[in-house]
Amino acid sequence: AQSVAQPEDQVNVAEGNPLTVKCTYSVSGNPYLFWYVQYPNRGLQFLLKYITGDNLVKGSYGFEAEFNKSQTSFHLKKPSALVSDSALYFCAVRDIGFQKLVFGTGTRLLVSP
């Protein structure tokens, strides 16, 4: 079965510093990978996705993600963190049969002023 793992429950970073939120995947076949962000008491919002093509994917709010096939990773990155980036981030992969997304456990990002 397709799966993703987010090894960090929380990531702390100072405002202005680069941030990375880690995700590794396990799939049969081609991976279709996604990142979502969730602010308190809200639904998840789409950030970006990798389907095929360039390994560096650019998304909303200045975020980008690097697809690395050899390391089976899809880490989320941003060159300069903002306090407003503090939220819960989810990595996800399309399941076989494409009926659903399989989500990771989420990583809380805390950006300090």
Give residues in contact with other proteins (CB under 8 A). Answer: 32, 34, 36, 41-46, 49, 51, 90, 92, 94, 98-101, 103-106
C-alpha to C-alpha distance for 45 and 32, rounded to whole angstroms = 17
Of residues 104 and 109, the one with the C-beta less far from other proteins: 104
Count Cβ atoms within 10 A of the Cβ of residue 30 and give its class: 0-12 exposed, 13-18 middle, 19 or more buried: exposed
Which residues neighbour 81 within 8 Å (Cβ) at sequence distance 6 or greater? 13, 14, 15, 16, 17, 18, 19, 109, 111
Please report how close the Cβ of residue 90 comes to other proteins at its closest, in angstroms: 7
Please report how close the Cβ of residue 88 comes to other proteins at its closest, in angstroms: 10
Please report how close the Cβ of residue 36 comes to other proteins at its closest, in angstroms: 8
Which residues neighbour 42 within 8 Å (Cβ) at sequence distance 6 or greater? none
Please report how close the Cβ of residue 14 comes to other proteins at its closest, in angstroms: 25
User: Smallest Cα–Cα separation from 74: which of 12, 27, 41?
Assistant: 27
Of residues 45 and 80, the one with the C-beta less far from other proteins: 45
Of residues 19 and 92, the one with the C-beta less far from other proteins: 92
Of residues 14 and 51, the one with the C-beta less far from other proteins: 51
